Chains A and B, each alone.
Chain A
Amino acid sequence: MTSPSLAEFFSTMERFLVERPREPTWLVERFPGWKARPERLAIYGRFVEGHVRRVTASVYPACRELLGEERWDSLLADYYLTRPAGEDPRINGCARSFPDFLAEREDLPEWLAPLATFERAKLEVYYHPARIPLQPEHLVPNPTLEAFESSWLVCQAYARFRRGAATPPEPGDEIALLWRSPRTRFVCWRAASPRELLALKLAVEGISVEAAAAAGGVAPADVREAVAACAREGLVLAPAGEA
């Protein structure tokens, strides 16, 4: 058997595993005299693609269910060819570019990429490296907060999926808010209502309750209650005694 250099070995394995799924016999034929069993080599091709499929399915369960298994499988085969694992050594990294991949496709429902963006945000918030201050000096937004605008009602659709009644998102303007609960460390989400937007405006811009009430023509007690409700849910974080 001709002995390949290590560089030749890696180059061939890259073509086998990364560039495009190939038959194991193709790999055996690249190294004349190699007595490899193709069915054993197939294990590696299966594993490498399988990791991408398994992780992507686990991060985007609503997208998967709404697309259906056959279409999902076909889509994942195409996604794998984009080398999705990239440079992130964490295994969830191989699912990160999925919403961008979907957004570039013209043969998919328009709501799919926004729904995937929501599911990716859930993952990012869950693992967000920020520490959540339990006793901030002043009102602040939850540092794990992710917000994105969509022309589809993805929060409602995701809630239906969680209840076991998945149907696609309906059209409509929405700002999805996702943040990690300081109490449970799990991810909370909601379509922003005026209450959340008010509490976030106070937290981000440092506006006082009284100033906000005067500007909005509402009672300070109403503003205070809106902020307190959002603080109880961890969307904003209030100093001790103010929530």
Chain B
Amino acid sequence: MSSTTLLGAGIGLRREFFEDLLASERRPDWLEIVSENFMGVGGRSRWALEECLGRWPVIPHGVNLNIGGPDPLDEAYLEGLSELVRRTDAPFFSDHFCYSRLGGVYLHELLPLPFNEEVIAHVVPRIRAVRDRVGRPFLLENPSYYEVMPGSTLDEAEVLTRIVEEADCGLLLDVNNVYVNAQNHGYDPVAFLDRLPLERVGYVHLAGHTPEPEAIIDTHGAAVPEPVWDLFAALLERTGPVSALVEWDHDIPPLDVVLDQADRARALLTAAAPAGAES
């Protein structure tokens, strides 16, 4: 399988869902796991992962690869990630265009990088090194950002495009992040999509956000809002069916609520498929 393998509509595997998901008659098409939550752990987490691996494709999605950070790539982390990717037999794995560690300390936050040539030159070889080390295709996710960082001489679309093309990796396109960024920084989200190398989209994230006084915050704590569904539909008009994943990380509702969101995503994928094709 390649980084554009079509998986359908999936959900994030959260510990709140372990038992309910395995007992449910409703089935997402695939699952995404937060890599760090399943690296080197036993107990319920490993049990749930092993049970799920027999039923669904499972894709590791990390938050602490620190692909843009100043520290060298963490060899112990890469060993754990490689083992997880092998164990899940995932066709690809992903993480964010950001930094998450400074001075040897993990900050557990997806921190935005400046948009400039130096960042491109810094990140591209690190992506290649990670992909070669893990041995599977890598997808880079566009993050949300609440302020453009100092030293930026390019814009986000140009930097993302340059990085994924020069690194020859896939794009995990977070549609909610596109919407949130467009609202927070005052640009047209559809025009933003049109500037990205959409042929490299491996899968899509769909999530909810929270309006706060200072900005719209990418919280993953609510249902996917209508404008994000609309933007997803606009994306599908350009790409045709792509794998989609509903993220819900805070204020986690009953499993059925998240599965309802996945069903809606699946319906859009089906509608986007050419006549006679299966999504």
Q: Which residues of A contact B (CB under 8 A)?
A: 1, 3-7, 9-10, 13-14, 17-18, 31, 34, 36-37, 39-44, 47-48, 51, 83, 85-91, 93-94, 126-131, 144, 180, 185-186
Flag if A3 contacts B42 (CB, 8 Å).
Answer: no
CB neighbours (8 Å) of A87 from chain B are 74, 104-106
Distance, CA A52 to CA B107, complexed state (A): 9
CB neighbours (8 Å) of A94 from chain B are 106, 108
Central interface residue in B39, B77, B104, B107, by most chain A CB within 10 Å? B107
Distance, CA A6 to CA B42, complexed state (A): 39
**CB<8 Å pairs between A and B, sample of 11:** A1-B150, A3-B150, A6-B118, A18-B102, A36-B147, A47-B109, A86-B104, A86-B105, A94-B106, A129-B41, A180-B42
Question: Which 9 A-B pairs rank lowest in CB-CB distance, beginning with the nearest?
Answer: A31-B150, A89-B64, A14-B102, A39-B214, A40-B147, A10-B70, A40-B146, A129-B42, A127-B41
CB neighbours (8 Å) of A39 from chain B are 213-214
Interface: B44 (CB within 8 A): yes
Interface: B140 (CB within 8 A): no
Interface: B88 (CB within 8 A): no
Per the CB 8 Å criterion, the residue count for chain B at the interface is: 43
Interface: B47 (CB within 8 A): yes
Flag if A37 contacts B116 (CB, 8 Å).
Answer: no
From A19, which residue of chain B is reached at the shortest CB distance?
Answer: B103
Flag if A127 contacts B45 (CB, 8 Å).
Answer: yes
Flag if B109 contacts A48 (CB, 8 Å).
Answer: yes
Interface: B151 (CB within 8 A): yes
Given A87-B106, A90-B36, A126-B43: A43 in contact with B214 (beta carbons within 8 A): yes
Given A126-B43, A126-B44, A127-B43: A6 in contact with B151 (beta carbons within 8 A): yes
Distance, CA A7 to CA B108, complexed state (A): 20
Chain B min CB distance to A236 (Å): 18
CB neighbours (8 Å) of A9 from chain B are 114, 149-151
Flag if A42 contacts B77 (CB, 8 Å).
Answer: no
Central interface residue in A40, A41, A144, by most chain B CB within 10 Å? A40
CB neighbours (8 Å) of A17 from chain B are 102, 107, 111
CB neighbours (8 Å) of A127 from chain B are 41-43, 45
Interface: B271 (CB within 8 A): no
Distance, CA A18 to CA B103, complexed state (A): 8
Chain B min CB distance to A5 (Å): 7
CB neighbours (8 Å) of B215 from chain A are 40, 43
